[in-house]
Chain A
Amino acid sequence: MKPLTCAGVEEQIDLYVADECEAEQKSAIARHLAVCPNCARAAEEARELQGLLSLRLRERDNLQALRSRLEREKVRTRRPMILSLMRRTAAVAAMLLVMVGSLAYLGLWQPRPVRDEGPQVAILWQSDDAEIRRAAPNRLEIVSGQVHLEITPGTAKGSAAMIETPAGVAQAKESRLFVEVAPRTRETPGAPSAAVLVLSGEVNFLNDKGKAAVRPGQVLEAKKNAVPHAEHVDRQMNMEKVQALPASALRRDWGEVYRALKKE
């Protein structure tokens, strides 16, 4: 194809920019534009004109589309407001956490000790083979052995201390008691048993089978698979005498313990 002149390009430039020329003509114009700055400028002008025309003629449609998007945005902005509030709250909480953590790490801030307002359990005496676990200030687990306990009520009235044994749980608010837990051994096969001797106050003992109230001077016997049974022993019994006895003397039938104590 013969090279185009500037006049020929000028004639076709608008259709070229609008992409409405034949392929051969298109490439001939492109070649000419590459070497002719005047025609290249004219092409730029034509491109600008057609771009502005498209924008101008589509303006109403575009504005309509924009209005629709704004309407949708108006509905959508409500949810992000809640989200942003949540996000801000979370950010403040995280900041506080970091501050407290940093202060605690530097030793500048100590968390206030939790004031225990519940009943307190004091271990006055325990046999050498006693195994005791402290679950909480007012919760004690006696796995085996003999223990002399004193329970004092806390400032929060109404809640009781829990003394857990393998045969059940003893609940007491203010009392002194002696607990013996005989674990299952070769000599004592069967379910582990517990005995509670109440010296003052009142103790409720309960397990899966039932419950029994134990008063001062009474001894309670319980096995895991049997209803707890309370029996009067002696109101004059006191722990000093019990403590004086050797452990081997106590770990027998409670009748013998009672008789031994009476002899003392």
Chain B
Amino acid sequence: VGWIWGTDVETVALSLVLFGDVGTSSRQNDGNRRALSASLPRAVMETTLPLPRLRSDAELVKLCVGGDSHAFRELSERYYRPICAFLFKRVQQVHLVEDLAQETFLEAFRALKEKRPPENFSSWLFGIAVNRCGKWLRRRKPALFPGNEPPDSLSTPFVSPKEELEEQQKRLASLEDGLAGLSDEQRTLLDMKHRQGKTIAEIATALGQPAGTIKSQLSRIYKLLRSRMSAEEATS
């Protein structure tokens, strides 16, 4: 089963099934490619075809152990986004997620440098992420709550990691679709707000527009994306 996540113009970043390697044979690669083509947004299809040949996780891990740092780069590009989404679900803080993701990949890199290849790279990598997350959660001060009212986090129904990841992947895919449908101006606004970390007042100054206009534009974009994600969630 394949899952696509990629809109970079030059490359297709593929985040394939977690807990399982990408196909190891060329036939499997072709199958994945077809599945990918079917699920890619049109805008992405137009900019990224033809798809590059995919190397399986196992192949890349083998190259990493042999000292090929480009192979690890490929692996990190493949898994960066799913790992971030996985961590975000748990810690809910963007900067912390970025730190934990870096630590996760560094730990994986060190292990591969020390010639300790895993049997299944994706589950192993997510295992590292879970450990990193656990360490951080243990360092936090315990939250106090009245005994007769347990916090929401304790009453959350159990969801298996695989199911959770599949759900995350769907949400990410719908977000990506939503982004693909935005205009350039709207993308610029999001970039200034979320990548450059500017406030609405700063964006308004930079663009020479009233702050109220920027506020309403951003509000509209958020609503659009949220409604898109909710709709896709409802259909699935």
Shortest distance between the CB of B209 and any CB in chain A (Å): 15
B102 touches A51 (CB 8 A): no
B103-118 to A contact mask, C-beta < 8 Å, 1/0: 0011001100100000
A15 touches B171 (CB 8 A): no
What bracket does the count of chain B residues touching chain A fall in? Answer: 35 or more
Shortest distance between the CB of B112 and any CB in chain A (Å): 11
Known contacts A49-B175, A53-B190, A57-B191; is A77 also within 8 Å of B88 by CB? Answer: no
Q: Which of A66-74, A86-94, A95-103, A235-243 contacts B (4 or more CB under 8 A)?
A: A66-74
With a CB–CB cut-off of 8 A, which chain B residues contact A47? 92
Indicate whether B199 reaches chain A with its CB closer than 8 angstroms: yes
Known contacts A20-B199, A63-B77; is A50 also within 8 Å of B109 by CB? Answer: no
With a CB–CB cut-off of 8 A, which chain B residues contact A45? 226, 229-230
B190 touches A58 (CB 8 A): no
Indicate whether A27 reaches chain B with its CB closer than 8 angstroms: no
With a CB–CB cut-off of 8 A, which chain A residues contact B80? 59, 62-63, 66
B71-84 to A contact mask, C-beta < 8 Å, 1/0: 01100110011001
Indicate whether B85 reaches chain A with its CB closer than 8 angstroms: yes
Prevailing SS type, chain B contact patch:
helix
When chains A and B are docked, how far (Å) is the Cα of A57 from the Cα of B80? Answer: 13
When chains A and B are docked, how far (Å) is the Cα of A15 from the Cα of B135? Answer: 32
With a CB–CB cut-off of 8 A, which chain A residues contact B200? 18, 20
Shortest distance between the CB of A13 and any CB in chain B (Å): 8
B98 touches A46 (CB 8 A): no
What bracket does the count of chain A residues touching chain B fall in? Answer: 20 to 34
Chain A residue with the shortest CB-CB distance to B200: A20
With a CB–CB cut-off of 8 A, which chain B residues contact A49? 175, 222, 225-226, 229
B110 touches A77 (CB 8 A): yes
With a CB–CB cut-off of 8 A, which chain A residues contact B179? 56
Can you name 25 A-B residue pairings with CB atoms under 8 Å?
A: A14-B218, A18-B218, A18-B222, A20-B215, A20-B218, A48-B88, A51-B92, A53-B190, A53-B194, A53-B225, A54-B194, A55-B85, A55-B98, A56-B81, A56-B175, A57-B195, A66-B102, A66-B105, A69-B106, A70-B105, A71-B69, A73-B106, A74-B113, A77-B110, A77-B113
